[in-house]
Structure formats: structure tokens, C-alpha cells
Structure 1
Amino acid sequence: MSLQPEPKNAMPTSRRDFLKLSTLAATTFQVPQREQLSVPGIPLAKAPTILLRSSWNDNNIGDIGHTPGTLRLLERYIPEAQIILWHAQPRPVTEALIVKNFPKVKIVHGAFFNQDEGLQGALKTAFEQADVYIHNSGMSMNYGLFNYEWTGVMSNLAPFYYCLENNIPFGLYGQSFDKFAPPALSLFRDVLSRASFIYCRDTESVKFLKENQFKTPIIEFGPDGCFGIDVRDEARGLAYLREAGLEEGKFLVVVVRTNTPHLNATGKGDMMNPAPSPEQQQQDALRLGKVKDLIHQWVTTTGMKVLIAPEALKETKYAKTMLYDQLDDSIKAKVVCRETFWSADEAMSVYARAHTMFGMEPHSLIMGLALGVPVVHARPLKHGRKGWMFRDIGVPEWLFEIDQAPASDITGAVLTIYKDYKTAKAKAQKAMDVVRNRQKETMSVVKKLAK
């Protein structure tokens, strides 16, 4: 198949050709929009179809949260669109949430390729119907960051090449980019330079792509899709608060991430969950020591409770054994450690009642901020450029590097929120104003591409 760009003087032969050429010529948001003319006896064109690839994991509420967040934005800003959600693997937890909250969204399954089998079935039909294809938020467009599995690279890039061959505009929404080990850079740069847009959820990723000479017409900051989340399970959330003895507005949420494997992992584990080395075990001890200081100071200063909440399934075990069980008995009496996992909607209903949130992971904090709750993020640099998200939306004073910042600085930031809560709430609102402005601008580009 030919993957060469069309000659500059080529005339568009279809609507998709026109949109692709128009977008490649754009340098800002000025994507030409086609007018629809009503002609007697001839129906207007069908509603645009948007194909969204999303939902990476059912065992992490951040990976769940990307999907309802971006779906809500698509429904809000492009209400006329038919939306198809592609799950390469079944995601029963996420799918139950989507069916409940987005009844008009159609879900399709299937791998893009499997040995000698190419695109087929419902997934093939979805691509044939698509007016634009979007790869949703995450950090899957990397090679050598967590592993060197070449099949993973190809599984992510193959749909883009299909879109190029079939004149389907495509883009990436709320991505972070960290590493292109050889020989991946040439491949990523080739195909992604011909995307209609790349919205990076952190400005460091924008710089990284531009420094590596990606030529995509739109490479800009666009918040993680999870910022759009608004789904709740009030029945479960309120029941849990009653069971745990947590009062609305009177508890701190704490979310940790440890150097520990998935609960069902064997051998070395995978991704960000290796079998911990002695150095990583020491790292965990130092990090959790700072979190213990925060919990102690919060309880003794405010008299309020603490909820240790899981963003990833595995932390229902390790947060208890490595943090909660190590607290002094006098402090432990004011701390609740959730030992069962939950979906994003139940978590949202609990987070909505929190006073403040602290986390080593970003997505629970994104959910909290979307609800208007002040947050403090103390992230490990190893987790990549996504760690700059909170700086980029205007709250750098709530962002720390946990391995470098003294415990007093992290605890001080949380207690400053407590001491001047009105100001902190206003900061949270201002940060979300930045997010919502960018959501509106990014969705305007998707809308014009889909028409």
C-alpha cells in the first residue's frame, strides 16, 4: 500500500480527502467547515461517526476514567455524532459503567490484527463508518519506557496506517510521550506527523514531539480525557461513607503507588509494577514515610479522618500492609483503609465529599479536581511526563516530586489548603476553568473533522 503524502496540488476526491488536506494545512484551529445545504427531495448527510479507542484496564480507576471523561466531552460538544467505543479486549467493569451512563454509545470488540487475520467483523464495520478515529488518553505511544515489546507498538500504530490508506482523519487525545527507543522514532514520527491533531496532556510532551521534529499540524496541550468525568454511583458511594464513618467535608483522601507487582502477576510483573528490587523497597519505605508524616500531621492538626483509597487494584493489599498497618495506634483510629476495589463512579461519589485529596497517582486527583476538591500531587518522576499535568493547568504549588521534596513541604501544602480553604477552593475552580477552556477548543477541532 502507498503511504506517501498526496501531492500538494492534488484535488481532494472525497470528503475525507478534503478534511485531511484541510487539517494538514492548518497551523491553529482554523479547520475549514463544510456547510450542509438542504435540497428538496435529498436528505441531509448522515450524522458524523466518531470511533474512539479507549479503556486500557479495569483494575485502575484512572484507566477506567479516561473513557467516560472523553465520552462526556464528545457528547457535550458534538451531540449530533454517533460514537463507537472500541475495546480491543472486553472491559466488563468499564463497559457496565458506559452502558449505564452512555446508552447511545455502541461498543465493539476485536483485535486489529491476529496472525493471518486482518480487520474483520464489527470492528471492520466501525472503521468503515468512522468519519474520524481517536486514540484516547494514556501513554501507550512510547517504546522502551516500560518494555521493548514491538508487537505492542504495531498494535497501536496499525490503525493509523489503515486510516491513512482509507482517508480517515485521526488524532490522539490527552497523550503523554516519554521515549522512542531505536528504531521506533522514525516509525512514530512518520505516522503521527500525518495525524490531524495530537493533544498532549502535558506541555513537556509537546516540547518532546517538537524537538523530535514531528510535523503534525496541531501539536498542543489538551488535558487528559479523565478531566471530563462526571459519572457517579451515589447509592454505593454514600453507603460506603456511612459504613466507613466518614462525614462529608471532613476527611482527607490519600492515594499511594508502590513498587509492587499486580496481585495476579508472576515473575517480574510488567509495566510500572515490577518485582521490587532492594533499592525499590527502600524507595517505598522513604516515600511512605513521608505519607505517614502527612497523615499524622493531618489528624493531629485538623482532628479529621483520613481515607486511604485505591487507584489501582493492587494497592488494596499493599496500601494496607505497607502504610495503614505501620501507623501508630492513636493515628490509626482516625484512618480508614479501603480494602476492596471500586469503579470510577463509586470513587467519584466518595471523592465529591472529601475535604482535600493527596496522591502519588494523578487520576484520582483529576477526578477530585473535576469535582472542585483541592488536591496535592507528589509524583515519582519515573511515572513520566504526565506528572506535569497539574503545573500545566495552573497549580504548580500543589505539585511535588516525592523523592526530592521534604516531608515538611508536602505536608505543609496540604495543611495550607486546610488553613485557607476558601482560597484553595477558588484555585481548584480556576484550574478547572483552564481545563474546560481547552476542552472546548480541542472538541471544536474534532467536531470540524467529523463533519
Structure 2
Amino acid sequence: MNDRHPEAPSEGIGGSSSPRPPRILLRSSWQTANIGDIAHTPGILALLEKWVPDAEVTLWASALGPGPAVRNMLRDRFPELRILNDPPEAEEAAGAIADNDFFLHSSGPRLMGAPELRRWRETGKPYGVYGITFWDSDEATMELLNGAEFVYFRDSVSLNKAVFELGLDAPVVGFTPDAAFATDVLDDEAAAAFLEENGLEEGKFLCCLGRWRYTPWWEMYPRPMTDHDRKVQAYNEHMVDGDHAPLRAAIEEVVRHTDLKVLLCPEDRSQVKVLREQVHAKLPEDVRGRVMLRDTFWLTNEALSVYTRSAGLFSNEMHSPIMAIGRGIPAIVCRWSEQTSKGFMWRDIGLGAWLFDLDYEESRSGIAPAVLKMAQDHEGARAKAAAARDTVQRRHEETMKLLADLLRHRQ
């Protein structure tokens, strides 16, 4: 997919060079309840490190806590990274806006950093949006996007909506996969210990991820349920068996027709219960013995190290498959309408045959055969995953080079 205006805007950030390195204010780290949301930040940082290596980056995070674990993981991998307080004091935020040259909004479910972007825009300094899903169509959001040097969407549905339905006309508008594909934080020691403890051998297991239709935030950040929460959970419970029946069917096929085991693993804390009750407990007894349940939450680095040792993933979640493909590990995605259009990026990177829609029976029925084929044709599945990874990396390179070019011409 090509940008509508592939050329970088001439003199877009001024025509003179500066003796000091360019400074990027990175708006990212939307939450830490989900290892996939955590992954946006190390992913975009890895891309900047590779393609804009001279840049000084300051992270303005929405959330890095509770506790120091996520912050420490980022510092271990990116020791030169500057991180604002969470949240920053007014003076610190104003200083970051004044000191930096370019505001980069990282990947996410929408324009999450819009309030800070509005403050930045008042300075007249340039900014860009990198790999979001788009469903906000209000006038204020469109004004912000139209003022960007570039706007990249992480799925073609979002891109088409913004351009052809709403007339987005920023200088550069296009597609780039979610930055989380580039995530490379690892904890190999923890992963090796986990595999040994659970009797899992490298390359001899698949990972399976399930989830509620809607995240039960009242459990994630404990608070009394509202009437709205009760309606949401009633819907979750109505849908949950049907949403996990295809996963159970796939597990049965894998266990009965291959020598692989299956690891049930969560992207957030609420999914442990779902996997235990809706997958593990409902499996036939002859199958359950080769299915392990990860019953505690983990961070992105340990999870990714486990995924890289697996034979592949099949998932009702999105970002674990994203991270897996980024490492060349096969991954099948199952989506539904409540997850917005982000799942369609699988089609955009050449993995349409590994994208299934749980809202349609015809699509649901294809999940178990596809998982079994992935398990039985390991070399073919790895080749397909590697081709998708290469597509992602080429697009990341093209879009990051545009950013680097913009920074070279800053004032």
C-alpha cells in the first residue's frame, strides 16, 4: 500500500540543520494492564533506535505503573531513554514541549494522546501519528490529524475511513503496521525457567490466548460494578462459550494429531479465569493432560521470550500474535466486531488466511483446521510468518525513513 502523497513535504520543518541531535517527544505507553499495550512503546523505541539513531527521545507515558517493573524493563533495553514522571508535573510537561523538536504519537487503538497533541500544536512545531486504528471522527480529531506531517494507520479499514469517508488530507497519509511488531524486549532466563517448570520443550508447543469480548475493568482496577458494568458482563458471559469453542476444538485437533503440547497464556489478568474455566476445564480429559495453564500475569519480555520458543500462536487477542510475527513465529488471529478494525492488519500484511471472524460461523469453522495445519506444516508456517514479518519491516523502514528525513530538515 502506497502513501497518497509519498514525497516528504519540502522544507516541512525548516530548511536549516542544527548542530545538536534531533529531539523527539514520544507519546505512548497507554496502559500496563495488557502486555500488548505495553509492547507499543518498546516497539516504537526499537524502530527509532534503528532508523533515527541520532535522535534523543523523551517518553511521555500515560501509565508505567503500578510498581517499577515496566519502567525498569524499558530502561534496561533503552538506557538513554528519558522518561517523564507518570504523570508529569505541569512544569516538567511544559519543559518537554519546549525542549523537543518533534511530537511522535505512537501506535494505539485511536488518537490516545490527543490532549497533549493539542498543547504541542500550539507551539507550531511539527508532529506525526504512527500506526493507529481510527474510529474517532469528530471535528477536533480531524483537525489534529490534518495538521500532522504524516498520519499512518495500522489497518486499511481505518485508512480508508479517514481518507475516503472523512477527507483526511495531511501531507502524508498511509499504512504502517503497529509499532509493537518491532518489540524486542526479552527475558530468556525467565522463559527458560518457566518452560522447564511446566515440561515444555522449545518448538514442541503452541500458545493459545482467549479473552472476554469486553475487558472487565472493574476487576482489573478493583471498584464496585456499575449498572453498565453488569450489562457488559452479562453480554461477556453470553458470548464467552461460543468465542472459545473454536479454540477448544483446535486444541483437541493438535493434541490428538500431533506430538505438540498447548500453553494457555494471558495478555491481561482477567484472562486467566477465562482460560481456566472456558478452555482448560472444558477440554476432554484425554486432551487436558497436554495443556498447560499460565495462571499468573507476566510482562511483555518474558511472554515474548516464551512465544519465540513456541511453534506458533492462535489467539482471540491481537498483540501477542503481533509480537510473534515480529519474531517470525506463526500466529493465527481470531477477531470480533467489538475489537474494532485492528485485526484487519493481518490481511494487510499478507496473513488473510490466518485471520478468522468469530462473528460468522463460516469463518469460525475454519479455525481448528488452520491451527492443525500450522502445527503439522512447521516449515510452511514459519515461511509464511517470515514473509509477513518482512512485509512489516519494509513498511516500517519506509515510514521511519520519512521521519528521519523530516528531522534532518528541522529548524
Normalised by the length of structure 2, the TM-score is: 0.91
How far off is 1:123 after superposition?
2.0
CA contact (8 A) 1:48 1:80 kept: yes
The structure 1 segments of at least 4 consecutive aligned residues displaced by more than 6 Å after TM superposition are 33-37
CA distance in 2, matches of 1:130, 1:109: 16
Query: Which deviations, in whole Å up to 9, do the C-alpha atoms of 1:141-180 show, x marking residues without a partner?
Result: 3xxxxxxxxxxx8xx3232232222121111111001243
Greater Cα shift, 213-222 or 90-99: 90-99
**Cα gap change, 1:49/1:383 in structure 2, threshold over 3 Å: closer, same or farther?**
same
Q: How does 1:31-50 map to 2 (within 5 A)?
A: 31-32=9-10, 45-50=19-24
CA distance in 1, matches of 2:231, 2:195: 34
Query: Which deviations, in whole Å up to 9, do the C-alpha atoms of 1:181-225 show, x marking residues without a partner?
Result: xxxx11111221111111100011001111111221112101101
CA distance in 2, matches of 1:341, 1:190: 39
Give % identity: 33
Q: Structure 2: 5+ residue runs without aligned partners? A: none
3-state DSSP of counterpart to 1:72: helix
CA contact (8 A) 1:55 1:94 kept: no
Q: How does 1:144-183 map to 2 (within 5 A)?
A: 156-180=113-137
CA distance in 2, matches of 1:90, 1:195: 26
**2:32 is aligned with 1:58:** yes
Which residue number in structure 2 is paired with residue 187 of structure 1?
A: 140
CA distance in 2, matches of 1:251, 1:335: 9
Normalised by the length of structure 1, the TM-score is: 0.83
CA contact (8 A) 2:103 2:127 kept: yes
Which residue number in structure 1 is paired with residue 158 of structure 2?
A: 205
The match for 2:100 among 115, 130, 135 is 130
Which residue number in structure 2 is paired with residue 220 of structure 1?
A: 174
CA contact (8 A) 1:89 1:109 kept: no
Greater Cα shift, 418-427 or 355-364: 418-427
**Cα gap change, 1:227/1:161 in structure 2, threshold over 3 Å: closer, same or farther?**
same
Larger radius of gyration: 1
Q: Which one-letter code corresponds to 1:314 in the other structure?
A: S
Query: Which deviations, in whole Å up to 9, do the C-alpha atoms of 1:1-22 show, x marking residues without a partner?
Result: xxxxxxxxxxxxxxxxxxxxxx
**2:60 is aligned with 1:86:** yes
**Cα gap change, 1:445/1:274 in structure 2, threshold over 3 Å: closer, same or farther?**
farther
The match for 1:432 among 370, 376, 389 is 389
CA contact (8 A) 1:357 1:375 kept: yes
Query: Which deviations, in whole Å up to 9, do the C-alpha atoms of 1:19-70 show, x marking residues without a partner?
Result: xxxxxxx922334477877xxxxxx611000110111111200011011010
Q: How does 1:363-374 map to 2 (within 5 A)?
A: 363-374=319-330
**2:293 is aligned with 1:337:** yes
How far off is 1:447 after superposition?
1.1
Which residue number in structure 1 is paired with residue 84 of structure 2?
A: 108
CA distance in 2, matches of 1:345, 1:413: 28
Which residue number in structure 2 is paired with residue 235 of structure 1?
A: 189
Query: Which deviations, in whole Å up to 9, do the C-alpha atoms of 1:63-87 show, x marking residues without a partner?
Result: 1101101000001101111010112
CA contact (8 A) 2:36 2:180 kept: yes
**Cα gap change, 1:304/1:98 in structure 2, threshold over 3 Å: closer, same or farther?**
same
Which residue number in structure 2 is paired with residue 67 of structure 1?
A: 41
How far off is 1:90 after superposition?
4.0
Higher relative contact order (CA 8 A, sep 6+): 2
Q: Which one-letter code corresponds to 2:320 in the other structure?
A: S
CA distance in 1, matches of 2:351, 2:328: 13
**Cα gap change, 1:400/1:270 in structure 2, threshold over 3 Å: closer, same or farther?**
farther
**2:388 is aligned with 1:423:** no
CA distance in 2, matches of 1:434, 1:196: 24
How far off is 1:274 after superposition?
6.8
CA contact (8 A) 1:169 1:449 kept: no
CA contact (8 A) 2:63 2:86 kept: yes
CA contact (8 A) 1:307 1:335 kept: yes
Greater Cα shift, 412-421 or 258-267: 258-267
